[in-house]
């Protein structure tokens, strides 16, 4: 395997492109989660899109232009645990699509990267519901289209998330996109950006660091573990942002307005707190990253994989990969039933 094909460089370095700035500004946008009404999909999705566009305007109007404007998992579609697959197939956006086109126009207007998550559908993956974090460049181009790595199974009892993650269709995913895209790093002129909505699995964050991630953008909905965010920033020497939802005033029928809202923050590579949301309401969190100085002499994490490589090779996950390649559950209850029968741990 050539070095260009390698997932990790043997000399501790990592791929990157030349920087165009010594320092960049990162703005985390803590915003509401408001579920789209599947029966009025276009109208309610439009309302969320216009709200998001207004927040991009606000982020760039507050203390000047930003280099990265970062949103949570669901600024466009919102989230509703009552949705069935047929609802989500209506609610989900296409990437690219009309919504990303309008967001791209804002990115071009302000010369910033816009990063956000969304439920998505894709003609290459019929009947699947995807959770994708999109990175749009200042040129208005989609430069990152990061699938969620995995869902945490067995946590909610009679309900299981039924979106298809990389893990849930791993073999087919690698065949389509390649092994590099299992842990995708978007290498930009302002730094190597990686994204995840995965919580409490430090191995995934470490994998991004081994791939050369410099700026880790982590999304949450209804809370996160602060220690997990801070510790992984320090262990992996990465600038790390976490964005959670704000209180959703007027959330709508069947939804709570405040579900573990707030706490969005930015941490430095030593785990130090750089900035944090002032409240549980909508608002910005801003920090400056000295990216050129940070990159100088930096290497991937210094670990001793020979000590535990065989251990990992023998480890068996409680649920096998590829389970949603064979079957796509109709809703959260059906997903729980299906996965319970597939559990390998007793």
Residue 91 has pLDDT above 70, yes or no: yes
pLDDT score at 12 = 97
Among residues 13, 110, 118, the alpha carbon closest in space to that of 65 is found at 110
For residue range 306-318, list pLDDT tens digits in order: 999 999 999 999 9
- The span from the CA of 39 to the CA of 1, in Å, is 51
Is residue 128, in this structure, part of any structural domain at all?
yes
Is residue 12, in this structure, part of any structural domain at all?
no
pLDDT score at 253 = 61
On whether the CB atoms of residues 12 and 300 are closer than 8 A, the answer is yes
- The span from the CA of 265 to the CA of 88, in Å, is 30
Is residue 246, in this structure, part of any structural domain at all?
yes
Give residue 261's domain range: 24-342
Angle, to 10 degrees, between the axis of helix 202-210 and the axis of helix 226-236?
30
pTM (predicted TM-score)? 0.96
Is residue 14, in this structure, part of any structural domain at all?
no
Local structure of 187: helix, strand or coil = strand
For residue range 10-44, list pLDDT tens digits in order: 999 999 999 999 999 999 999 999 999 999 999 99
Is residue 5, in this structure, part of any structural domain at all?
no
On whether the CB atoms of residues 277 and 283 are closer than 8 A, the answer is yes
Is residue 15, in this structure, part of any structural domain at all?
no
Is residue 166, in this structure, part of any structural domain at all?
yes
Residue 273 has pLDDT above 70, yes or no: yes
CATH number at residue 172: 3.60.110.10
Number of domains the chain is built from:
1
- Model confidence at 218, pLDDT cuts 50, 70, 90, reads very high
State the DSSP H helix or E strand holding residue 108, giving kind and residue range, or none if neither.
helix 98-110
Q: Please report, for residues 156, 311, 320, the alpha-carbon distance to residue 334 in angstroms, rounded to integers and kept in the order given.
A: 13, 34, 18
Write out the DSSP string of 61-90: HSSS--SEEE--S-TTT---TT--HHHHHH
Is residue 29, in this structure, part of any structural domain at all?
yes
């Amino acid at each position: 395997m050539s070095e260009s094909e390698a997932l990790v460089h043997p000399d501790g370095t990592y791929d990157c492109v030349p920087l165009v700035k010594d320092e960049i500004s990162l703005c985390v946008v803590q915003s509401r989660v408001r579920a789209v009404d599947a029966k009025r999909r276009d109208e309610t999705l439009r309302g969320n899109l216009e709200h998001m566009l207004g927040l991009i305007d606000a982020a760039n109007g507050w203390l000047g232009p930003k280099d990265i404007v970062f949103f949570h998992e669901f600024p466009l579609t919102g989230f509703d645990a009552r949705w069935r697959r047929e609802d989500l197939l209506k609610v989900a956006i296409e990437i690219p699509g009309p919504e990303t086109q309008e967001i791209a126009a804002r990115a071009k207007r302000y010369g910033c990267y816009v990063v956000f998550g969304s439920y998505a559908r894709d003609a290459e993956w019929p009947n699947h519901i995807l959770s994708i974090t999109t990175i749009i460049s200042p040129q208005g181009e989609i430069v990152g289209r990061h699938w969620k790595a995995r869902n945490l199974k067995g946590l909610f009892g009679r309900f299981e998330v039924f979106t298809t993650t990389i893990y849930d269709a791993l073999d087919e995913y690698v065949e389509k996109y390649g092994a590099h895209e299992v842990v995708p790093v978007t290498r930009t002129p302002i730094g190597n950006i990686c994204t995840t909505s995965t919580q409490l699995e430090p191995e995934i964050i470490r994998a991004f660091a081994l791939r050369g991630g410099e700026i880790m953008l982590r999304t949450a909905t209804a809370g996160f573990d602060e220690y997990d965010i801070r510790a992984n920033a320090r262990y992996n020497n990465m600038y790390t942002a976490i964005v959670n939802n704000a209180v959703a005033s007027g959330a709508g029928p069947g939804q709570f307005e405040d579900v573990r809202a707030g706490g969005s923050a930015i941490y430095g590579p030593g785990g130090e707190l750089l900035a944090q949301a002032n409240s549980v309401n909508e608002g910005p969190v801003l920090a400056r990253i000295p990216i050129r100085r940070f990159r100088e002499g930096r290497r991937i994490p210094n670990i001793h994989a020979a000590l535990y490589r065989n251990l990992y090779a023998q480890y068996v996950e409680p649920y096998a990969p590829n389970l949603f390649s064979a079957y796509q559950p109709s809703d959260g209850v059906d997903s729980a039933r299906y996965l319970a029968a597939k559990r390998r741990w007793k």
